[in-house]
Amino acid sequence: MTAKHVILSCLAALAVSEAAAAEPPLKVMSFNIRYGTAKDGTNEWRQRRDLVVQTIQDFGPDLLGLQEVLNFQADYLQAQLPGYAFHGVGREDGAAKGEFVPLMYRRDRFALEDSGHFWLSETPDVPGSISWDSSLTRMVSWVRLRDPQGGAGSFIFANAHFDHRGAQARTESARLIRRRAEAVAPEFPVVLCGDFNTTEDGKPYAILVRGEEMSGQKAVDCHRAASPERSPDEATYHGWTGRRAGSRIDWIITSPQFDVLKAAINHASDRGRYPSDHFPVQAVLRLNTTR
């Protein structure tokens, strides 16, 4: 290779690097807000709903995935967060019955290209379906968005809530999501968030993040990318106590096309009161057009 070719190659690489850095960052939050009919005493929904909204507004996510959302909670959040579009249905009937796993995204930033839902079961296109050892109906909601501010094209944003009792159901749910993600991954990068009710030591994490049993292609655990050394104080479920000791069960995962600029567990509280029995998790990403 001549000196001229070397210079041209370096300039081309620099141009690609600059283009990737020019992509606007994406602020992502995943937040289990605790279903609003739970008998939580002083932590019941009406006593904390404003703190939920404030926690969301303080971070200002571009993309927001919520879990354990009932219909009246969805109505309240949409009224309080008018700058966000909403996509979600109740898991029991595909309409308004039961918990939602909804997505909210900034109206002024994203154009919606496609959307849908599927159930974490052996019949994923049947609303309300349940399989394996799952104790409850579980589902995924997803959207395909385009950011006109950037030049990187479209991506998938999806949100899940795995069963809290069924170990087989969690593993099969991870396999189902991974198959669907791999089907679209050649064309669309993916951001997946959710409450997975298991830690990074479990089989679902191995399937979703390390690609075990699947293609073997690794995904990105945003928190672990930002904090490679595991800490003993990474709990995301705290049961209203604020306790941090433990491991994460709430994750934000991406396909390899995203760079992780920041990621954290949000420990927001107000005078010892918490917006939920889960800490929200958040990340700042950049879609890397060079991958």
Give me the CATH number covering residue 262. Answer: 3.60.10.10
How far apart, in whole angstroms, are the C-alpha atoms of residue 121 and residue 166? 12
Q: What is the pLDDT of residues 21-57, one digit of tens each?
A: 568 999 999 999 999 999 999 999 999 999 999 999 9
Task: Give the percent of the chain with pLDDT over 70.
Answer: 92
Q: Is residue 194 part of a domain?
A: yes
Q: Is residue 169 part of a domain?
A: yes
Q: Is residue 84 part of a domain?
A: yes
How far apart, in whole angstroms, are the C-alpha atoms of residue 9 and residue 5? 6
Q: What is the pLDDT of residues 49-79, one digit of tens each?
A: 999 999 999 999 999 999 999 999 999 999 9
β-sheet with 63-67: strand ranges across: 84-87, 103-106, 63-67, 26-32, 281-287, 258-265
User: What is residue 6's predicted lDDT score, i.e. its pLDDT?
Assistant: 36
How far apart, in whole angstroms, are the C-alpha atoms of residue 171 and residue 132? 10
pLDDT-based confidence at residue 291 (cuts at 50, 70, 90)? low
Question: Is a pLDDT exceeding 50 seen at residue 13?
Answer: no
The structure tokens listed for 173 are 């749910």
The structure tokens listed for 96 are 């308004």
How far apart, in whole angstroms, are the C-alpha atoms of residue 153 and residue 139? 27
Q: Is residue 3 part of a domain?
A: no
What phi-psi label fits residue 189: left (phi over 0), alpha (psi between -120 and 50 degrees) or beta? beta
* pTM over cut 0.85: yes
**Number of structural domains, the chain?**
1
Q: Is residue 206 part of a domain?
A: yes
How far apart, in whole angstroms, are the C-alpha atoms of residue 230 and residue 276? 24
Q: Is residue 267 part of a domain?
A: yes
Q: Within the chain, where are the H helices?
A: 3-22, 45-59, 71-80, 167-184, 203-210, 222-226
User: What is residue 17's predicted lDDT score, i.e. its pLDDT?
Assistant: 45
DSSP 8-state assignment for residue 236: S
How far apart, in whole angstroms, are the C-alpha atoms of residue 149 and residue 120? 34
pLDDT-based confidence at residue 14 (cuts at 50, 70, 90)? very low
| Of 14-28, 177-191, 227-241, 247-261, the least confident | 14-28
Helix (H) or strand (E) holding 64: strand 63-67
pLDDT-based confidence at residue 15 (cuts at 50, 70, 90)? very low
Domain of 246, in residue numbers: 24-287
pLDDT-based confidence at residue 11 (cuts at 50, 70, 90)? very low
Q: Is residue 16 part of a domain?
A: no
Strands (E), 82-224: 84-87, 103-106, 111-119, 139-146, 154-161, 190-195, 220-221
Nearest alpha carbon to residue 130 among 140, 145, 120? 120
Helix (H) or strand (E) holding 125: none
Q: Is residue 4 part of a domain?
A: no
Q: What is the pLDDT of residues 88-133, one digit of tens each?
A: 999 999 999 999 999 999 999 999 999 999 999 999 999 999 999 9
Q: Are 265 and 252 in contact (CB under 8 A)?
A: no
Q: Can you tell me the mean pLDDT for 149-177?
A: 95
Q: Rounded mean pLDDT of the chain?
A: 93
